[in-house]
Amino acid sequence: MKIKEKSAEILTVDYKILTKISPDIESFAGFPYIEPTVGRPWPLPQSETPGDGYMTVDPTDFTFQATGESCDILTKAFQRYQSIIFSHENPTMHKPRNQKERVSENLIGEGQLTSLNVNLASPCEDYPYLNMDEQYELKICAPDSPTEATLDSNSIWGILRGLETFSQILVKNGSLYSVSCTQILDFPRYAHRGVHLDTSRHFLPLEKILENLDLMAMNKFNIFHWHIVDDQSFPYVSSVYPDLSAKGAWSDIHVYTLQDINIVVNYARDLGIRVIPEFDTPETEPQSELTVRLIQAMKKISVFLQNLFQEIASRFPDHYLHLGGDEVPFTCWSRKLNSVSFSFKKNYKLFEIVYNRATIENKRQFYEIKLWQKKFILSWRTYNMFLTYIVWEEVFNNGVQIAPDTVVHVWKHSSTPIWFYSEIASVTAAGYQALLSSCWYLNLIEYGTDWQKFYDCDPQGFDGTDEQKSLVLGGEACMWAEYIDETNVISTMWPRAAPVAERLWSNKNDTTSADEASPRLEEHRCRLFRRGYAVEPLGPSYCPEVL
């Protein structure tokens, strides 16, 4: 009997007993019971060729072996996965769920697997980056090596993805584990697979951010879009402008110091995750005293931006920076028009002429456009920090002159695909790269299960040329924190973000059915729950081996 069939029989024995007691167990008050798969990885691999048979794994006699290049990232990954797999415990802070031991059957299979041979073909890179190589090949008792398990990749980032897959296909059976013979060749569909998390509207402690990074890695996300500040609070502690947090944070303890940022960046690095911070310029609702002073002293803004962005660039090693730019209220800006330094208008002769002839509404629009234009020109040409910027779609829609390699982030019209697909088409037709988040807002919660609709969304689902679609970098699941804090951030995000991860990683044609994904997602949810994370249930169910 194949291990998948055998494991399914072992792990569903309780379910079969229950059905004899109550034939209606397959549905609860109209909610169907979804029987989880066994030993299926998440997200779905690009190519998987199951073999015959399985191998057994004894936790006391198993190691990861580096057969190629090595580095600190690989060494830490071996330690991390040894703990994750065999103790079901997050090695940093979380305790595993109480588990009920099952009696081991006499598993023999194709023999005992004592190691996973990990062959990293190239030296490790320092930090993850856009278009990094994440491809890997995982073989378990393959025809060319029937008694071995091998993981091969050209990059450390591919090795990390392969280790996660290996950790998911092992099935616990009493004191032993089993793993099906298989060959997996896997790589992501999109280079940019992100999770956006807001820490301004509610401050999130560092441990919750790290916990979210763990879960991202377990779903093969590779971008942490850190919406670190907004008008509600400014918890980023700047050395060059300490008043930003001193006057802008909720309190003097609700802040992220340089040490905190280093912890997040390096923790993410070890997981193969990039950290892209977002600093709104201008703020969504510029009401703070500091923002007003900035607007009233426009002639100083270039110095301010230069100093602040140079500091940000030194703290966040990624080549990309998100500059926000969404929901700028023109009424607020227009009230500040008379406060603008005349020297600013004097530097823009065209602006001065048009400004004097414009209507009030045009003044608002034109003022914002020229302000943004000045910021982008200064930050891109004068600062010379070699950063590439991401902006929300309003910046593009308002006709701001932006650098050719600027990435436009589409987020509006979540319930109207024809509109957000039209927006991506317009952005890419203009030659800009694009990201999609419109359909993946995790904070828009519905009663019951709402993750199924995430499978209806595809960043390349618009009508456009192949060249346009090649400009789509990927997308992000977004969590805004008006009603989210440390008490519910993990359970609200996970496992609801997992379908987004699969749509961004897996083959488009293999991941269009929520019904097909449902049993695998049930298993994945139990897997994350068993590892110690407070992930919410998907409906009436239970997790085998977890009390």
What is the separation of C-alpha 98 from the centre of its chain, rounded to a whole number of angstroms?
A: 28
Which H/E stretch holds residue 56? strand 47-57
Separation of alpha carbons 463 and 317, rounded Å: 36
- The amino acid present at 77, given as its one-letter code, is A
Separation of alpha carbons 278 and 398, rounded Å: 20
φ, ψ at 183 (rounded to 5°): -130, 120
Which H/E stretch holds residue 418? helix 417-429
Domains, the chain, ordered by start: 9-37+515-546 (no CATH), 47-86+108-186 (3.30.379.10), 192-341+355-512 (3.20.20.80)
- Whether 327 is a known active-site residue: answer yes
Residue 349 tokens read as 């002769």
Residue in 28, 47, 143, 180 with CA at minimum distance from that of residue 541: 28
Separation of alpha carbons 344 and 370, rounded Å: 10
Task: Judge whether 301 and 309 are in contact, CB under 8 Å.
Answer: no
Distances (CA, A) of 169 to 163, 386, 462, 512: 10, 42, 35, 22
Task: Judge whether 500 and 441 are in contact, CB under 8 Å.
Answer: no
Separation of alpha carbons 42 and 524, rounded Å: 7
DSSP per-residue letters across 189-244: S-SEEEEEEE-SSS---HHHHHHHHHHHHTTT--EEEEE---SS---B--SS-THH
> Which residues make beta-bridge pairs with 115?
63
Separation of alpha carbons 532 and 90, rounded Å: 7
Task: Judge whether 312 and 357 are in contact, CB under 8 Å.
Answer: no
Task: Judge whether 310 and 238 are in contact, CB under 8 Å.
Answer: no
Contacts 24+ apart (CB under 8 A), 331-339: 331/364, 332/285, 332/286, 332/287, 333/282, 333/286, 333/295, 333/364, 333/367, 333/368, 334/360, 334/363, 334/364, 334/367, 336/292, 336/295, 336/296, 337/363, 337/367, 339/295, 339/296
Active-site residue, selected from the candidate residues 105, 289, 327, 352: 327
Residue 483 tokens read as 């009603």
69 three-state secondary structure: coil
What is the separation of C-alpha 390 from the centre of its chain, rounded to a whole number of angstroms?
A: 16
472 three-state secondary structure: strand
Separation of alpha carbons 263 and 292, rounded Å: 33
CB atoms within 10 A of CB 148: 17
Task: Judge whether 471 and 428 are in contact, CB under 8 Å.
Answer: yes
Residue 121 tokens read as 């073909």
Separation of alpha carbons 502 and 488, rounded Å: 23
Residue 439 tokens read as 């359909």
CB atoms within 10 A of CB 355: 17
Separation of alpha carbons 302 and 433, rounded Å: 26
What is the per-residue pLDDT for 19? 35
Task: Judge whether 276 and 191 are in contact, CB under 8 Å.
Answer: no
- 547 residues of the chain, pLDDT tens digit each: 333 343 444 333 333 333 333 334 455 555 678 899 999 999 999 999 999 999 999 999 999 999 999 999 999 999 999 999 998 544 444 445 545 444 445 556 678 999 999 999 999 999 999 999 999 999 999 998 889 999 999 999 999 999 999 999 999 988 899 999 999 999 999 999 999 999 999 999 999 999 999 999 999 999 999 999 998 999 999 999 999 999 999 999 999 999 999 999 999 999 999 999 999 875 544 444 544 454 555 556 667 878 888 899 999 999 999 999 877 665 555 554 444 443 344 444 333 433 344 444 444 444 454 454 445 444 443 344 678 999 999 989 988 888 899 999 999 998 899 999 999 999 999 999 999 999 999 999 888 889 999 999 999 999 999 999 999 999 999 999 999 999 999 999 999 999 999 999 999 999 999 999 999 999 999 999 999 999 999 988 889 877 6
The whole model's pTM is what?
0.85
Residue in 85, 33, 77, 26 with CA at minimum distance from that of residue 58: 85
Which H/E stretch holds residue 109? none
Separation of alpha carbons 81 and 102, rounded Å: 22
> Which residues make beta-bridge pairs with 434?
408, 472
Alpha helices for 1-56 (secondary structure H): 3-11, 13-21
